[in-house]
Every structure is written in C-alpha cells, then in structure tokens.
Chain A
Amino acid sequence: MQSLTNRKKVVSDKPMTLMEKIYIPAIVGGMWITFKHLMRRGNTVKYPEQIRPFAPVYRGMHVLKRDEKGRENCTACGLCAVACPAEAITMTAAERKKGEEHLFREEKYAAVYEINMLRCIFCGLCEEACPKEAIFLTDRLVPTEFHRDEFIYGKDQLVELVDNRIDITKRQHTGKRTK
C-alpha cells in the first residue's frame, strides 16, 4: 500500500558495516547534535513570575454568581448535579425566610452547595445545564492542597463576594454561544 505520509522507514536487520561497528563516528555525530542544543533555550515559562495566557474558553474553577443587587442566583434546582458526569456536585435546598430577600433572588436557595474538585472533570456541563445563570466556570486554577477533604469546596469558596465580583464575560462572549 502506498504510504500517505512519506515518512515510513523500512527497518532492516542487516549486519553493521565496519564504519558502524567502530561506533565512534556515530557517537561524535550524536554529540554534535546535542552540542548544537547547548546554547539554545526553549519555551520555558518561568511560572510564578510569568503566567502563560489562558485560552479564552479555558474551563477552570467554578463560581456561583450573584445578580447585580448582590443576591445569589442559585435556586438549588439540582440540574447541574444531574448533568454532572462525574457526580461531583451535591446540594441541599432550603426555603428563603422573611428578611432574606437581599440575599437570595428567589424563594428557594442552596443551603449547602459542594463541588468535589477531585471528581470534577471541568467539562462545563453544569454551566450549560443551569437555567438561572448561577454557575460558571472561570479561568482560575484550583490550588493544590495537602488533604483530600480540602478539595470539597463549599459555598464559602464558590460564591463570589459582593464586593469582589468574578469576571466571566471573557469566556461567555467568545465563540458561537453568546448570552
């Protein structure tokens, strides 16, 4: 069959010639190749000082959004947990009491909302499933921890702060899907 790539090499086990048996020319050739690399520097990114730009559609750590008045969007419908292929999301719903209107947008809210970051595969299906625009993936990285239970993120780590909003527009406004 004709080769498509034209890179095919025919392997043969013919005995080595005398020149090959001496090894030294081949060794010198190899050492010349490595020597040429001696002064060349590659694409090293010195990480903490120099951060490689993320792709606009990068899927990193989740955020639970608040609306413009600072109320949580999530109504604990559970669609994200159903959509999650890795079974990473759990939640407990609760009813909004009188006087909590400034905290939660609708009558039902998530009292507990946990994502296990060790199970999560960052596929973004939760984001697509969410009818309330509550959960989004961001370009933030999940930091390393020493213990497994520290990777189960609760609401304290997931919900954005009122005075420290997380920008999600970059990821949401590129590509075909726009909201």
Chain B
Amino acid sequence: MDLAFIIEKTTLIVIIFLLSLVIAAYSTYFERKVAAWFQDRIGPDRAGPFGLLQPIADGVKMFMKEDFIPKHADKWLFIIGPGITIFVALIPSIIIPWGPPLEMFGRKIALQVTNFDFGILFIFGALSVGVYGIMIGGWASNNKYSLFGAVRASSQMISYELAMGLSAITIIMMTGSLDLNEIVAKQHGMNWNVFYQPVCFVIFFTCALAETNRAPFDLPECDSELIGGYHTEYSSMKLGLYLFSEYVSIFISSALIAVLFFGGFNFPGMDYFTGNTLAIIGLLVFFTKISFFIFVFMWIRWTLPRFRFDQLMHLGWKTLIPVSIVNLLITGLVIALYEGWFWSN
C-alpha cells in the first residue's frame, strides 16, 4: 500500500466514475438521436454543433426545476430512493476489466479498480440490490401509480435475475472461474463465448433488457398505463438521477455483455501488439463493443412494442428459465465429454 498505488487507484476510480457519467449523459443524447433516425427525423440539433451540448442543456434544465416533495410522501425515503438507485448502478463499474494493463511511470497499471475472485457474484449482488431504489422511491411517493411501478419493478427483477444467473453460470462453467479477468483471458483473440453459447447470449441479453427496465420490458415506468411509473411524483434532479441511473446501468450492462460474451478487450490479431499499444487498442475495442451494445439497446427500444405484464412473467418463468436450465445441462454434458472423465471413470 504505497502512495503510488493509492494515487493510481484514485485516478482510476475518478476516471471511471466521470466516464460512466459522461457516457450516460451522452447516451441520453444518443437515444434521442437514434429514436429520431429510426423515425425518419433529425433529432436534437440546436444546442451546439449537431446538438452535442444537449446533455448539458438537459442537466441545467433538470437542476433549475422546482424540487417538489409531495405532502403525504415519506420524506426521507423519498429523498434516499434516487440516491440508492444511482449508487447501485455505478458500483459494478469497479470490477469490470476495461483493458489490458498499461505500463506507465515504470509501473504496470491494471485497468480495473479492484478484482475479486467472486467477480460475477459481486455484479449480481449489485443488480439484485438495485431494485431497492425503485421500490423505496415508488412506495415513498404515496401514489398508486408509483406503487404499481415499484411492485412491477421488483417482481420483474426477481423473475429475470434467475434466468440471468443461470445463463451466467453456463459461462462460469465454461471458464471454470468467477473472476472476470479470467473470463476475459479465456476468450483470447476471437475465441469469444458467444460463438459457443448463442442461446445463452440471447437469454442473457433479454434479461439485461428486463433488469435495466428498458423497452420492451419497461413496465415499471410504462407511460401509457402508469404515467411515469415509480418516478411519477419525482421532479428536478431527483427525477434526473432516476433517468440517469437507467443509462448508467445500460452502460454497465453493455460492458458486462461485452466481457462475458464478446471477449471484453480481446480482438482478433491481438498477438501482434504488445505493451501500451495493445492496451490502447484493447481499450478502444472494448469501448466500441460497449457502444455497439448501447446502440442495440436503443435499437430494440425503438423497434419492439411493450410486453403485457402476464406475457412478461410467462416469458421469464416458462421460457427463459427452462431454456437456460436445458442449456446449462447440455453445456455440462459437453464439458464432461470433452474433458474425458465421463468415459474414463
């Protein structure tokens, strides 16, 4: 624990924190642009060149709005709700391996804030806790639409966590480790998990959509039924935090999908590079993958209609979970055959 180590980690944390916020802010801009493009429109183009300053304008607007707390709301829980949501959304970013190690100032700097040997479990822990912010906010608003949103969010998240966990277990079985670093290292070059586990990828992606409350699973906030869902009563930057945390979790989910299925920072032909060149290209490749998945998230949102709630539950419990269990069993069988002890015993 020398000083250099502390400085290194602090810088890394600050950079990743700011990066998540900036990417989330520009996701809001990008979402509006993508929505416009899909609908043959132009999208925001007034603030700055191509409307690039739009997120700043939005932020200023959010801060200037009246911060209103309803009279019958549970005041403290009402305030804590958005805070928990954004906190929990940002937490998993500490464990994602962003790129190959950089060499700088004579030190080898790992582009990962910290590494646990139970990495994936940590992310699932953060995901499972993520619903509290929505539930607390929705309940504390003392509004039936908010409550419906909160209840929907919680049941949806619990249902889809199972299938998500089962599909992640498949990847864990293939890698033999919970450590994200090892999962990435195993997918060296073009040896990505998605080529071995396409079904698993589809299930995981569907669950990621449901966990981030994105369309077609945006039932907790579906405007046509629940006004704004859990954030109906929220205004000003508290609302902003809720909206923002959605984009932060899209960013983190995209990063997670890239790590688990698309080899993280691995790219074909990476053996020709070494040292810092490799690190920088790796970083760029990783962020390209993340941007692509953020785009896919938006693409799906502006294509598919919203599920009905019973359809959502049917899909989660009667389709995704059985399919992922079967997938898990087949994977186990193949691993057993491949490794040979099935026959040698």
Interface size on B, residues (CB 8 A): 12
Interface centre among A27, A33, A39, A43 (most CB of B within 10 A): A27
User: CB of A37 within 8 A of chain B?
Assistant: yes
Q: What string of 1s and 0s marks CB contacts (under 8 Å) between A9-48 and chain B? A: 0000000000000001001001101110111111110100
Any chain A CB within 8 A of the CB of B6?
Answer: no
User: Given A24-B202, A27-B304, A30-B304, is A35 in contact with B42 using a C-beta cutoff of 8 Å?
Assistant: no
List residues of A (64-82) whose CB comes within 8 Å of B's CBs: none
User: How long is the Cα–Cα vector from A33 to B305 in the complex, in angstroms?
Assistant: 14
Tell me the nearest residue of chain A to B216, going by C-beta: A27
B209 CB to nearest A CB, Å: 11
B327: min CB distance to chain A, Å: 14
Interface residues of B in 33-77 (CB under 8 A from A): 37-42
> How far in angstroms is the closest Cβ of chain B from A49?
11
Given contacts A31-B303, A34-B299, A34-B302, contact A42 B41 (CB under 8 A): yes
In the complex, the answer to whether A41 meets B42 with C-beta atoms within 8 Å is yes
Please, how many angstroms separate the alpha-carbon atoms of A30 and B305 in the complex?
A: 10
A82 to chain B, nearest CB (A): 46
CB of B302 within 8 A of CB of A40, answer no
The complex places the Cα of A161 from the Cα of B302 at a distance, in Å, of 52
A30 contacts B38, C-beta separation under 8 Å? no
Known: A27-B304, A30-B304. A37 touches B39 (CB 8 A): yes
With contacts A24-B202, A27-B304 taken as known, whether A34 is within 8 angstroms of B41 at the C-beta atoms is no
Q: Which residues of B contact A33 (CB under 8 A)?
A: 303
Nearest-neighbor residue (CB-CB) of A48 within chain B? B46
User: Judging by beta carbons under 8 Å apart, are B303 and A30 in contact?
Assistant: yes
Verify A41–B299 contact, CB threshold 8 A.
no
Does chain A have a CB within 8 A of B300? yes
Q: Which residue of B lies closest to A32 (CB)?
A: B303
CA A1 – CA B302 in complex, angstroms?
38
Residues of B within 8 Å of A40, CB to CB, are 40
A31 B300 Cβ-Cβ under 8 A: yes
- Minimal beta-carbon separation of B34 from chain A (angstroms): 8
| Interfacial chain A residues near B40, Cβ < 8 Å | 37, 40-43
- List CB contacts (< 8 Å) of B249-297 with chain A: none
Knowing A24-B202, A27-B304, A30-B304, say if A44 contacts B41 (CB, 8 Å): yes
CA distance A35 to B202 in the complex (A): 19
What residues of B have a CB within 8 angstroms of the CB of A42 in the complex?
A: 39-41
Write out the residue numbers on chain A whose beta carbons fall within 8 Å of the beta carbon of B300: 27, 31
Q: Determine which of A24, A37, A46 lies in contact with B37 in the assembled complex, contact meaning CB atoms within 8 Å.
A: A37
Q: A24 CA to B39 CA in the complex, in Å?
A: 22
Given the complex, which residues of A lie within 8 Å of B42, measured CB to CB? 41, 44, 46
Chain A residues with Cβ below 8 Å from B303 are: 27, 30-31, 33-34
* Closest chain B residue, CB of each to CB of A43: B40
Q: What's the Cα separation between A34 and B299 when bound, in Å?
A: 8
Shortest beta-carbon distance from A74 to chain B in Å: 42
Instruction: Kindly state the separation between the CA atoms of A46 and B43 in the bound complex, as whole angstroms.
Output: 11
Complex interface: chain A residues within 8 A of B37 (CB):
37-39
Q: How far is the CA of A46 from the CA of B42 in the complex (A)?
A: 9
Report A-chain residues with C-beta under 8 Å of the C-beta of B302: 34
Q: How far apart sit A41 and B43, CA to CA, in the bound complex (Å)?
A: 11
Is the CB–CB distance between A35 and B299 below 8 Å? yes
- Separation in Å of the B291 CB from the closest CB of chain A? 15
Q: Which residue of B lies closest to A27 (CB)?
A: B304
Provide the residues of chain B in CB contact with A24, threshold 8 Å.
202
- B320 nearest CB across to chain A (Å): 11
Asked whether A31 lies within 8 Å of B41 as measured between CB atoms, the reply is: no
Complex alpha-carbon distance, A33 and B39, angstroms:
11
Minimal beta-carbon separation of B142 from chain A (angstroms): 33
Contact, CB under 8 Å: B39 / A31: no
Chain B residue nearest in CB terms to A22: B319
B202: chain A residues at CB < 8 Å are 24
Given contacts A27-B303, A41-B42, A42-B39, 13 further A-B contacts (CB under 8 A): A27-B300, A30-B303, A30-B304, A31-B300, A37-B37, A37-B38, A37-B40, A38-B38, A40-B40, A41-B40, A42-B41, A43-B40, A44-B42
List the 4 shortest-distance A-B pairs measured between CB atoms, nearest first: A42-B40, A34-B303, A34-B38, A30-B303
What are 25 residue pairs bridging A and B, where the CB atoms are less than 8 Å apart in the complex? Answer: A24-B202, A27-B300, A27-B303, A30-B303, A31-B299, A31-B300, A33-B303, A34-B38, A34-B302, A35-B299, A37-B37, A37-B38, A37-B39, A37-B40, A38-B37, A38-B38, A39-B37, A40-B40, A41-B40, A41-B41, A42-B39, A42-B40, A42-B41, A43-B40, A44-B42
